[in-house]
Structure 1
Amino acid sequence: MKHFEANFDGLVGPTHNYAGLSFGNVASYNNAAQHSNPKAAAKQGLQKAKALADLGMVQGVLAPQERPDLSTLRRIGFSGTDVQVLSDAAKQAPALLNSCCSASSMWTANAATVSPSADTRNGKVHFTPANLVDKLHRSIEPLTTGNILQATFNDERHFQHHHHLPEHAHFGDEGAANHTRLCSDYGHAGVELFVFGQSATQANMPKPAKFPARQTLEASQAVSRLHQLDEESCVFMQQNPEVIDLGVFHNDVISVGNQNVLFYHEQAFLDTQSKFDEIRRKMNTNVHFINVATEQVAIADAVKSYLFNTQIITLPNGNMAIIAPSDCQENPAVHAYLNELLTLNTPIKQVLYFDVKQSMQNGGGPACLRLRVAMNEQEVAAVNQHTLLNDDVFNRLNLWVDKHYRDQLAVSDLADPQLLIESRTALDELTQILKLGSVYQFQR
């Protein structure tokens, strides 16, 4: 039976904007209050996803969430008609309105943690939506994320869905952005690397001083239990708190893995050597640890270019390729390093660059835009086929974007009642294109 690693990219929502909501995310903060282009953002994401499909990869899409999120505004005391709720929120609590208009669900690396059937005791693919409790604008996502995942992976014979972890900082969970699966082959049992920023219960463990550590050890351990992973299938590793304070808010901003390759910055982790030894022992196969030294790429350049927020994919010919933002090409140090990387004896043989600047300016690169799901051919066949990208779906989604999305959006536009109508109309049509049913029932 064939095995694949599918990528499910988040469709950028109609309210894509730069409100600077994510403290600790340097790009998000630096570009706050700029005008965004939702139409360009959606098309850039679709183009990158279609390019991977054309390379022979299994590629799907995940729907955006309904924004503005009036249900949350009503829960915190705003009432009346929809227009009144928007108007009052804009006047009385504009920061709350901005949070309820965030299109951050586009970054599906934060949607959930996924464990493939080859790793789990009951032989099913497991999904746990991230609770994202560290940021208000993301903490309102998990219920709808769970609905979207269940509408996409909707065959209980193959897929098992869990509720998100308790909504408390003790179990701060940011999903696959802090989780990497290493294996010799997608269909073989592998090692799931859970990277955390701090412990909620062990006060003697180091933690960052400036920016929050969004993932806790306790959350990672809870997900591993839910997913029925054996001890020999897991490694728990702490991210270096010093790099968190330099703007590395998730592990996927400082390292990325694929099969038997882990591509990382030398400052990424604590206790690096002993944890790598544990990975080697549990993998029981050759692992390529590709170390990028600070003298080659400084942390500031890695964060600015998102060198590590790239995708590493295995092409049908067996070679690996890096899917990088064009920002890596424009950064002299990073571009020079990637050119050198291709001369080294590693499985990575190609670098492909894509323009995803609308996402980059809000703090998310190519890896943020996708959720990886390793599956066998039976499991791929059990996925909602309307969510898998082909020429027809790609063309329909592009026409959908052209029909419903604005090409300019200011933060002040978020209170526009017409934007709410446009967003709801777009999502109503999208549910028909992707055959999603009533995934937005919690948002109305």
Structure 2
Amino acid sequence: MSVREVNFDGLVGPTHNYSGLAHGNVASMSHEGLVANPREAALQGLEKMKSLMDAGYVQGVLPPQQRPDLGALRDLGFAGSDAQVLARAADEAPQVLRAVCSASSMWTANAATVTPSVDAPDGRAHFTPANLQSSFHRYLEPATTGRVLASIFADEARFAHHPVLPATPAFSDEGAANHTRLAGDHGEPGVHLYVYGRQAFGGDGIAPRRYPARQTLEASQAVARQHGLSDAQTVFAQQHPEAIDAGVFHNDVIAVGNGPVLLYHEVAFRDEQGTLDALRERMASPLIPVRVPVEAVSLDDAVASYLFNSQLLSNPDGTMTLVVPGECQEREAVWRCLQDHLLAGHNPISEVVVKDVKQSMRNGGGPACLRLRVALSEAERAALSGRVLLDDALHGELVAWVERHYRDRLAPADLADPALASETLAALDELTGLLRLGSVYPFQR
């Protein structure tokens, strides 16, 4: 069975802007109010996808959400025509308007948690969309995310879809940004590392003080139960509170794993040794931990550069490629760590590839945020619905689509423009035709 990892990247939406909505995300907060370039953002994402496809990796595409979410504004009491709804929201609740225009679905690491069929007791790949209840602008995403995933992974004999967890603080779920699957290779049964920031019921009360912990232990446990995973297949580890207070709002900002390799910062886990011991005990193949000490890279440098929000990709010869954002070159300590500690160390990481995703980075999302990983067999890849696996033809059509529909300048004040809403609906309607997804958006239903 040829099992390969498919990276499904989120297309950056036409309303990409810098509204500073994500409390605890240092980059998002520090760039609030700047003018964004949605066209450049989408093209940067597509260039990254194309370069990985050209390098031999299987690359998929996921569509953005319908934004602005006029339905959400109407649910909140704003009435009238679309233009009137937008104008009133801009006047009375500008932060709410910014939230319903967010292009945050581009970070598909938060879209869902996925268990491949090789690990599931029923032999199907399992999907649970994240409830993202910790922030209003992301709480709006799961319904459309679920429809998109059900449209693509439609074969019920091969794929299973689970309901979103209750959208309450006790079951706060941020998806695969806090989940890592480790195994000797993608076809080998794996161990699932779930990282949480706090415990809702019980626990010792140790949690971050400055920024909120977005993932609960209870949510991670519920997803594992939905997917039928046993205790022997799972490890639940608490993220270090100091890391969260430094701006590490998800585990994928401080650790990244693939195959048998876990690349992590010294302050990633509250119980570093206990986490490693539990993984070693459960894995069929030896764990290869790659630890970056705080003396090499400070927490501030890790957050500013998004070193650990890089994509770690497996190669057929057993080596690994690390795809890092350009900001890693701008931090001397980080770049030195990449050259002297990682590439020169005794580990499978043999290549570092630098990608410009600056438009995303300014909102707090690096290469790893932009993709949802799904390990699929050849038969499962053949069973996918729609036209979502990237090839040269689809890439060319998507680039042309972006250039037709996207603005090259968008400030927060522009979000009230009713023409932007009309432009976005026209773009998304065309996109669902290109990707052959059917009617996944509210305005199409």
Q: What's the TM-score bracket when you normalise by the shorter of the two chains?
A: over 0.9
Correspondence 1:41-440 to 2 at 5 A: 41-340=41-340, 341-384=342-385, 386-440=387-441
Secondary structure of 2:308's partner? coil
Q: Residue 360 of structure 2 aligns to which amino acid in structure 1?
A: S
Cα displacement string for residues 417-440 of structure 1 (whole angstroms, at most 9, x for unaligned residues): 000011000000000000011100
Q: What letter corresponds to residue 198 of structure 1 in structure 2? A: R
For 1:53 and 1:135, the matched residues in 2 are separated by 33
| Shift of residue 203, structure 1, vs aligned partner | 4.6
Query: What SS does the aligned partner of 1:336 have?
Result: helix
| Identity across matched positions, percent | 56
Q: Does the aligned pair in 2 maintain the 1:302–1:308 contact within 8 Å? A: yes
TM-score (structure 2 length as normaliser): 0.98
Q: Is the 8 A contact 1:33 1:410 kept in 2?
A: yes
- Residue by residue, what CA displacement relative to the aligned partner does 1:191-236 show, whole Å, maximum 9, x if unpaired? 0000000000015231111100000000000000001111100000
Deviation at 1:317, TM superposition (A): 3.4
Letter in 2 for 1:257: G
- Secondary structure in structure 1 of the residue aligned to 2:267: coil
1: distance between equivalents of 2:354 and 2:397? Answer: 25
One-letter amino acid of the structure 2 residue matched with residue 300 of structure 1 = D
Please state how far the C-alpha of 1:274 moved relative to its aligned partner: 1.7
Distance in 1 between residues matched to 2:325 and 2:88, nearest whole Å: 39
User: SS where residue 431 of structure 1 aligns?
Assistant: helix
Deviations 1:342-382 (A, max 9, x none): 11121110000000000000000000000000111111111
Number of the residue aligned with 2:26: 26
Which whole-Å CA distance do the structure 2 matches of 1:63 and 1:161 have between them?
Answer: 18
The CA deviation string for residues 83-103 of structure 1, in whole angstroms up to 9 with x for no partner, is 111011111111100000000
Kindly report structure 1 stretches of 4+ aligned residues shifted beyond 3 Å: none
CA distance in 2, matches of 1:261, 1:315: 13
Aligned amino acid, residue 390 of structure 1 = D
| Structure 1: distance between partners of 2:240 and 2:317 | 36
C-alpha distance in structure 1 between counterparts of 2:409 and 2:315, whole Å: 36
The alignment yields a C-alpha RMSD, in angstroms, of 1.0
Rounded to whole Å, the distance in 2 between the matches of 1:318 and 1:2 is: 15
- Retained in 2: the 8 A contact 1:55–1:315? no
Q: What is the aligned residue count?
A: 444
C-alpha distance in structure 1 between counterparts of 2:32 and 2:152, whole Å: 33
Native 8 Å contact 1:57 1:316 kept in 2: no
Matched, 1:4 2:9: no
- The runs of 5 or more residues in structure 1 that have no matched partner are none
Structure 2: how far apart are the matches of 1:311 and 1:442?
34
Deviation at 1:152, TM superposition (A): 1.6
CA contact (8 A) 1:22 1:135 kept: yes
TM-score normalized with structure 1 length: 0.99
Secondary structure at 1:19's aligned position in 2? Answer: coil
Distance 1:149 1:412 in 2: 33
Query: 1:385 deviation in Å?
Result: 5.0
Q: Give the secondary-structure state (helix, strand or coil) at the position aligned to 1:249.
A: coil
Per-residue deviation at 1:284?
3.2
Aligned partner letter, 1:153: F
| Mapped partners of 1:386, 1:240: distance in 2 | 40
Report the Cα offset of residue 441 of structure 1.
2.5
